[in-house]
Structure formats: structure tokens, C-alpha cells
Amino acid sequence: MTADSEQLLREAMREAACQALDDRREVPPFPGAGQPARWRPTRSRGIHRFGPLTVAAAVLTIVAGATVGVAVVNANRGDDPATGTSPTAGTSPAPAPDGPNLALEIGYPVDPPVVGVETTFAVRGTGMSAEADGSIDAPVVSFGDGSPDSGPASVDNACSGDPVPIDDTFPVSHTYTQPGTYEVSASIESCGLIQTQSLTVEVSAGPAGLGLALDVSSAPEPSVAGTETTITVRGTGMTAEADGHIDYPQVSFGDGSPDAGPASIDNACSGDPVPIDDTFPVSHTYTQPGTYQVSVTIESCGLSRTQTLTVEVRAP
Amino acid sequence: MIETVEVDIEEIYQQRWRELVRMAVLLVDDLAAAEDVVQDAFIGLHRKQGQLRSADAALAYVRTSVLNGARSVLRKRRTVRLYLRAVPPLTAEPADDAALRSVEREAALAAVRRLPRRQREVLVLRYWSELSEAEIAATLGISSGSVKSAASRGLDSVETMLRGQR
């Protein structure tokens, strides 16, 4: 590569970037400045100046006889400036009957959250919306444990015509790797109205104090036939393994080759559960290009988790 | 205990918004998506207030967030990427040197778009953001050796593609 080619790349990128975003374009308002929670629509989605959101009411309902709690916040576009965002428990919702309004509920998981077991939250948005497709976008959910938020990277803000009733429920799943108390926060947006609601969940280590979660990922580079492919296997949770670690995973590479992994599993479990976080790089060389289903299983003290991964192998 | 400082995120936003949006444009080929990615990155940074070690750390964080956001956009737009791969070679006859250079720049950019994701990211960070090898490694969470090899392969591929169009 010559210096001239490098200079060409610099010029090309400068030209393309500056053509795409003109110098005269003003920097939009800072998204963190006094904004409620999640979205601040940009010019590309049409200019939405958030009208004052009036938090009309919030209700925390515990459904008697069931382990289901629902936190509800209602908002409507009112004429009064927003005076605060703290929901007032026990107040009845009073949205404008005909105008756009949005309510959000997060359902407490029916099954008590346990480490290593997928927990599902039901996020429900209701109200009146002028979304062009008649339904709101998937919510952005933060699980409170430092993991990436779930939800769309961008939001379709196409709004049209008169508001129509909406009632959309989104199941959102997450697997916690450590016991503890977490604040789950969900946000939904519809035509400039935003609602955010939090829910505190207790995640237990499970009946026996054990839990196991599995995460399998492939290397970012494409796999090439004849070249070693690396898959990363990560096991987290709580274990009572005698040595404090889970065993090497069992891996089936999907190409007919022998599985990787120990011939036998050491099931010696003793003492109190301790946190684990073990990562195993697993390498394999595919001889032919194609699409392969890799199956990975980890085991710890009687708990086992299996995950599959699709690996695309291209010709060298 | 790691010391944290109060970082003026809004100042970073005002100073870096354009640069980051342009970086994102080079990764996702679409201004609207680029702006969204940068907005989301700053919202994420805003949440990290109180956990930041320095203004430099904040900028590094938001730059990495923009890259992650761009990857997410591209994942959802595989069909568009496939379309870009099918863009025919440029055949315009240049009228003069300036026009020739302009055609070459377009061809170079088209070649960058066709690179594997890692190579494209490395080249954008190197030739647009002007980051050092170590800074690129830290931003992408990879080793300096991987940066070097991705840059070298990416540049070779770009040059090969350009030769094929001449």
C-alpha cells in the first residue's frame, strides 16, 4: 500500500463524511439534558419536540393470590408544564380521553427469578397512539446488572393521522448470572410520548444455591475452511464444584468430526456455592466451506445448559 | 478502589458530535442511522456519569458505543450490504485530474464498504478518526497485532479492488 493510497483513503473518508453531515448543521440538543429517559428523536425521524408530559397517575398493583406485580405509569399530553416525574402510588389514572396517551406496565415474572434460568418480563404499552403501523416499537429494557440493554437500536417514529387505541405486549427475557436485587427499567416511546418504569426484582441463587448460565460466541472474523475457528464458551453462575470451576464444555461442531470435551464429567460437588465465571476458547478447523450448527453443553453439579451457534465457513 | 471524576459530558457532546456522527456515517452509510447511533451512545454515556475515570475515558467509551451501535445497525441491514456488494464498477470517463481524483475517492470508499467489518472499522478509526494503533486496539477491544493485521489486509484489499477497476 503506497502513501498515495493512504492519502486517497483519508481524502475519500473526509469528503464522504463531510458531504453526509454539512458543517452548517447545528449540533442537536444534548440528549441527557433534562430528558426523561431513553429516546430523543433526531432530525431524521421528523422533528418531535416533546410537549410537556404530565404524569397523571401511577398505580402499583399486586394481584392478590399470585406472584404477579404490575407497575403502571400513565401519561398524556397536557397543557400544563410537567411538574415532576415521580409516580404517585394509589392515584387513579386520568389521561385525556381522546388525545394521545401512553401507559406502561412491567409484569413481575411469574416464575421467581433464579440465577442461570431465563426470566421473562412482560412489558405492556397501552393508550392512544397515532403510530403509522398502529403499534408501538419494542421497549428498551435495562436489566440492572450491567448487561447490554435489550431493544431496538433505532426507533420508527412514523406517526400519522388520528390516534387509535393500542395494546402491545412484549415479552423480554434475560438470564441473571449472580443472585441479588436488580432494578429493571423499561422505556417505550410512541409519537413523542415516552414512558419509563422500573421494577425491583430479587434474583435468588436457586433452591440449592446453584445456578448456571451459558454464553457461546464466535470470533468476529469470518471462518475460513482450512483455518482454525475459535468459539468462546463462557459459563457463569453459582457452583459447588470441589475445585470452584466447571468442567471443559462438550462441543459438537456439526461437521461429523468427534466432539470436543472430557470423556467423563467430574461431578464432585462439595461445600457452599461460590460464584463462577469460566471462559473456554474452543478451536476447530473445518475442512469444507458451509454452514454448521455448533452445539455446546456445560455442566455443573447436576445442572446443565446447552446452546447452539451457527458458524458460516467460507472457502479460503 | 478506582477513582472517578465528574466529566462534563455535554461539553464532549458539543465538541465531538460532528466527528462521531461522521465516523458513524462511514460505518453505516446513512446519516439518519449514524445520528441515532451517536445519540444512543451519549445517552449511554450519560448513564455512566459518576463511573468515569477521565474525559478521555468518556470519549473512548462513547467511541466504542458508536462502533457497537453501528454494528447493530449493520446486522439489521444485511440486505443493504448485499446490495452494496453488487454495486457495479465505476465506468465514468474522467474529464480531468480533479475529476479523476474524485472518481478514485468514490471507488476507494466503495472498496472500504466491501471490506469485512473489522477491517472497515480499523480503517475508519485510522484514516477518519486518526487514532493510533494502541487507541484503535483499545476502542475495539482487540490486540495491537490484530489492528496491524486488519489494517494491512484492509489496505491490500482496497488497493486490489481499485486496481481491478482501472
Q: A129 - beta bridge partners?
A: A164
The predicted pLDDT at position A264 comes to 59
* Closest CB to B31 among A9, A14, A44: A44
Q: Which residues contact B142 (CB under 8 A, 6 or more apart)?
A: B118, B150
Stretch among A38-42, A195-199, B37-41, B126-130 having the lowest mean pLDDT: A38-42
Given a cut of 50, is residue B87 above it in pLDDT? no
Quick check: pTM over 0.90?
A: no
pLDDT digits (tens, 9 = 90+) for A79-105: 332 222 232 222 233 344 455 677 888
d(CA A306, CA B65): 30
Given a cut of 60, is residue A151 above it in pLDDT? yes
* Residue of chain A nearest B30, judged by CA positions: A20
Query: Span A240-268, mean pLDDT?
Result: 76
Contact between chains at B155 and A27 (C-beta distance less than 8 A): no
- Provide the 8-state DSSP code for A41: -
Picking from B153, B144, B61, B141, the residue whose alpha carbon sits closest to that of residue B114 is: B153
- The sign of the dihedral angle between the CA atoms of A314, B141, A115, A69 is negative
* Closest CB to A31 among B46, B72, B116: B46
d(CA A23, CA A20): 10
Contact list in B for residue A30 (CB cut-off 8 A) is: 9-10, 13-14, 42
Contact between chains at B108 and A8 (C-beta distance less than 8 A): yes
d(CA A309, CA B76): 18
Residue A236 vs residues A54, A88, A111, A149, A211: alpha-carbon distances, Å: 43, 39, 21, 19, 8
Query: Span A52-77, mean pLDDT?
Result: 32
Contact between chains at B128 and A21 (C-beta distance less than 8 A): no
In a mutagenesis test of the A interface, which of B11, B15, B21 is the best target, namely the one with the most A β-carbons within 10 Å? Answer: B21
Establish, for the pair of chains A and B, how many residue pairs have beta carbons separated by less than 8 Å: 122
Q: Which burial class, exposed, middle or buried, applies to A13 when counting CB atoms under 10 A from its CB (0-12, 13-18, 19+)? A: buried
d(CA B54, CA B50): 10
Given a cut of 80, is residue A189 above it in pLDDT? no
Is residue B71 within 8 angstroms of chain A, CB to CB? no
Picking from A308, A269, A313, A309, the residue whose alpha carbon sits closest to that of residue A288 is: A313
Contact between chains at A17 and B32 (C-beta distance less than 8 A): no
From chain B residues 5-34, the ones with a CB under 8 A of any chain A CB are: 9-10, 13-14, 17-18, 21-23, 25-26, 31-34
Question: How far is the alpha carbon of A33 from chain B, nearest alpha carbon, in Å?
Answer: 8
Contact list in A for residue B13 (CB cut-off 8 A) is: 27, 30-32
Q: What is the mean pLDDT of chain B?
A: 79
Given a cut of 70, is residue A194 above it in pLDDT? yes
Is residue B110 within 8 angstroms of chain A, CB to CB? no
Q: How confident is the model at residue A74 (pLDDT cuts 50, 70, 90)?
A: very low
C-alpha grid cell, residue A160: 400519522
Query: Span B45-54, mean pLDDT?
Result: 72
Cβ atoms A9, B112 nearer than 8 A: yes
The predicted pLDDT at position B89 comes to 39
Given a cut of 80, is residue A121 above it in pLDDT? yes
Nearest 5 degrees, angle CA B127-CA B132-CA B134? 135
* Closest CB to B117 among A1, A13, A220: A220
Question: How far is the alpha carbon of B75 from chain A, nearest alpha carbon, in Å?
Answer: 11
Q: Which residues contact B130 (CB under 8 A, 6 or more apart)?
A: none
* Closest CB to A42 among B35, B45, B105: B35
Given a cut of 60, is residue B79 above it in pLDDT? no
Question: How far is the alpha carbon of A139 from chain B, nearest alpha carbon, in Å?
Answer: 14
Stretch among A113-122, A137-146, A265-274 having the lowest mean pLDDT: A265-274
